[in-house]
Chain A
Amino acid sequence: MSVDDLLVVRGVVRHFPLRRDLLGRTRTAVRAVDGVSFSVPAGTALGLVGESGCGKTTLGRCITRLEEPDRGTILFDGTDILGLAKKPMRRLRREMQTIFQDPYSSLNPRRRVGDAIADAFGIHRLLTPAERRETVAELLATVGLQREHAERYPHEFSGGQRQRIAIARALALKPRLIVADEAVSALDVSIQAQIVNLLMRLQAEYRLTYVFISHDLGIVRLISDHLAVMYLGRIVELGDAERIFTRPLHPYTRALLAAVPRPDPARRGQRLTLGGEPPSPIDPPPGCPFHTRCPNAQPRCRAEAPVLEALEPDRQVACFFPGGR
């Protein structure tokens, strides 16, 4: 952790109870996030990757307190946000916005787009109506839409345009942190590229800090300075993104990278497939959570759980035999 960190996450745990006993104690729970720590320096992007069910979305929701963690600390610009009361939290939330996968479900179909964007100001009462209109027009221009678009309804837009609207709305309060949860996953490839470019341009222009949650490793590599690889509620590899992409040390990271389809028919059949599926987060295996699928699992991996340890500068790995040793 350094003074430049905008976001610091320490030991965050979020379990979803499934059944309680007579005394109201949790008997079984989905261990969605099971002790996660990382930090994100201001103006950088952290890529958060892993298979569905690994807890990356729950973690993203915990960061902005859309979900209350059971344990842990989240510092935003040095402020412990989990201790904040409703009012100061609402003030702080302006500075941390989320962009979701499906812009259609996050936009009210009966509100004009301009109003939907201006709602953000309304809630936080910052501007006069005239200022609001002008700012909406500016925001629309920033994301590549026109002033006239403010008068239209969400259904009149294509998926890519709706995601631009969602981005404009997120930018409305001049946030410092943006959590993008599969923000481009539902878009067509040609449009996906446009939105990725827009996000990268905005980051440079406004010095935004991103937590970029995605299953698309190609896009993650393009955007991320740092990378966190999650498996079954825990981070298994964390550090400088380029180093991890060039030389992944955790066998899960290696498997994930090897599974990415390459658009090149000449390399057909070279894609290595990881067997099986992630175990249930309700009943994770003992020892290393990855040992049931790991190609190099040893007896020790079945008995003990490895913790995230620094192996080299800016690289932590939770594995007893990193790099296949």
Chain B
Amino acid sequence: MTQEALLEVRGLATHFFTGQGIVRAVDGIDLTVCRGETLALVGESGSGKSVASLSLLRLVEEPGRIVAGAVRFAGDDLLRLSEREMEAVRGAKIAMIFQEPMTALDPVQRVGDQIAEGLRVHEGLARRAARARAVELMARVGIPDPVRRARAYPHEMSGGMRQRVMIAAALSCDPDLIIADEPTTALDVTVQAQILSLLDDLKRESGAGVLLITHDLGVVAEVADRVSVIYGGQIVEDGPVEQIFRRPAHPYTQGLIACVPDVELPRQRGRALQSIAGSVPSPFDRPDGCRFRDRCPSAFARCTEEPVLVPIANGHSARCWLNVR
């Protein structure tokens, strides 16, 4: 693959300086998103995946601080831009879609106006032109009767329609990169399928890159080109999606895949679902060495040493001593 890298994150670290100590929420991660490609950043709660995505846009709030790394995007290191330059990047070159559009949308403003607002600020369109474009965008994301729906308030729409509004707003400035944080988690599977295929179509049409943040491996299998698995603030495995599902190399990735119940598997009474023992360790007392070792079924002596991400196959690497001979 000789694709052009759109976003290159190197050694990004975001720590929270709290009264109880330093939380290394994101602890030196690398991510690459190419044009026209979807990278899924997969992790459970507390893994650091959402802090990582907020860090890319420099939206981390006190007591959180980005302490190291580079975020290269379109020739710039976003971490070195002025706040003013950064404003121009957010919402225009990089758009963000969140899990619950109800909280991201203004409840007292008509949805058409909310989409138009971005167009006026970032593209300098006049009010009427912006409104007309907002209706076009709503039609493009599959909202029926967009002229009438543009005058609706968010609470008058279903969750799926609100997520389409969010996507229309995100697309309004023709972004190069879309960061989607759990965009379908709050939706029914039927609507989820519609939204994912919409995102996929839009990516293909515009050639934008997508960074999809999710815990849902079904969604990952459906839309990702490449996958980075995050655990305890570190990337523990990354690679092409087929490799990750067919030959997961890290015991955590293997465990995650095994935990998903298969709807096609006939029921056998008394058969337990595979699970991963324990829970994600608190960032205050992560084990030293490999952060997964106290939950890992294959842990051995060497795991007290911190493993590094090592290549296994073409474009596929894992942070686990089992892969080091």
State which of A188, A261, A266 has its C-beta within 8 Å of the C-beta of B242.
A266
Given contacts A188-B44, A274-B190, contact A257 B263 (CB under 8 A): yes
Contact B259–A256 (Cβ < 8 Å)? no
State which of B191, B245, B272 has its C-beta within 8 Å of the C-beta of A200.
B272
Contact B266–A246 (Cβ < 8 Å)? yes
Q: Which residues of chain A are near B255, meaning CB under 8 Å? A: 190
How big is the B interface, by class? Answer: 35 or more
Q: Which residues of chain A are near B99, meaning CB under 8 Å? A: none
Within 8 A of A (CB), among B252-295: 255-257, 259-267, 270-277, 279-280
B274 smallest CB distance to A (angstroms): 6
Contact A263–B260 (Cβ < 8 Å)? yes
Contact B221–A263 (Cβ < 8 Å)? yes
**A197 an interface residue at 8 Å Cβ cutoff?**
yes
Within 8 A of A (CB), among B207-222: 215-222
**B192 an interface residue at 8 Å Cβ cutoff?**
yes
Contact B189–A158 (Cβ < 8 Å)? no
**B109 an interface residue at 8 Å Cβ cutoff?**
no
Contact A277–B160 (Cβ < 8 Å)? yes
Within 8 A of A (CB), among B221-272: 221-224, 241-242, 245, 255-257, 259-267, 270-272
Contact A221–B267 (Cβ < 8 Å)? yes
**A80 an interface residue at 8 Å Cβ cutoff?**
no
State which of A160, A193, A255, A264 has its C-beta within 8 Å of the C-beta of B190.
A255
With A and B bound together, what is the CA distance between A221 and B260 in angstroms? 12
Q: Which residues of chain A are near B264, meaning CB under 8 Å? A: 262
Q: Mark A209-222, 1 if CB is under 8 A from B, else 0.
A: 00000011111011
Contact B259–A190 (Cβ < 8 Å)? yes
**B188 an interface residue at 8 Å Cβ cutoff?**
yes
With A and B bound together, what is the CA distance between A40 and B124 in angstroms? 62
With A and B bound together, what is the CA distance between A188 and B273 in angstroms? 14
**B193 an interface residue at 8 Å Cβ cutoff?**
yes
Q: Mark A242-283, 1 if CB is under 8 A from B, else 0.
A: 100110000000011101111111111001111101000000
Closest residue to B263 on the A side, CB-wise? Answer: A218
State which of A51, A161, A193, A242 has its C-beta within 8 Å of the C-beta of B267.
A242
Q: Mark A161-191, 1 if CB is under 8 A from B, else 0.
A: 1000000000000000000000000001111
**A26 an interface residue at 8 Å Cβ cutoff?**
no
What is the interface of chain A mostly: helix, strand, loop, or mixed?
helix
Q: Mark B131-162, 1 if CB is under 8 A from A, else 0.
A: 00000000000000000000000000011110
Total CB contacts across the A-B interface at under 8 A: 137
With A and B bound together, what is the CA distance between A158 and B194 in angstroms? 33
State which of B158, B218, B223, B224 has its C-beta within 8 Å of the C-beta of A262.
B218
Closest residue to A223 on the B side, CB-wise? Answer: B267
**B304 an interface residue at 8 Å Cβ cutoff?**
no
Closest residue to B45 on the A side, CB-wise? Answer: A188
State which of B44, B241, B275 has its C-beta within 8 Å of the C-beta of A194.
B275
Contact A242–B266 (Cβ < 8 Å)? yes
Q: Which residues of chain A are near B263, meaning CB under 8 Å? A: 217-218, 221, 245, 257, 260, 262
Contact A263–B267 (Cβ < 8 Å)? no
**B323 an interface residue at 8 Å Cβ cutoff?**
no
Q: Which residues of chain B are near A273, meaning CB under 8 Å? A: 190, 193-194, 197
Leading 8 A-B pairs by shortest Cβ distance: A261-B218, A218-B261, A193-B275, A190-B276, A188-B44, A273-B193, A51-B188, A218-B263
28 example contacts (A-B, Cβ-Cβ < 8 A) are as follows: A51-B188, A51-B190, A188-B44, A189-B259, A193-B261, A193-B273, A194-B275, A194-B277, A215-B188, A218-B263, A221-B261, A221-B267, A222-B271, A245-B263, A245-B266, A256-B189, A259-B190, A260-B218, A261-B193, A262-B262, A262-B264, A263-B220, A264-B245, A265-B221, A266-B242, A267-B221, A271-B222, A274-B193
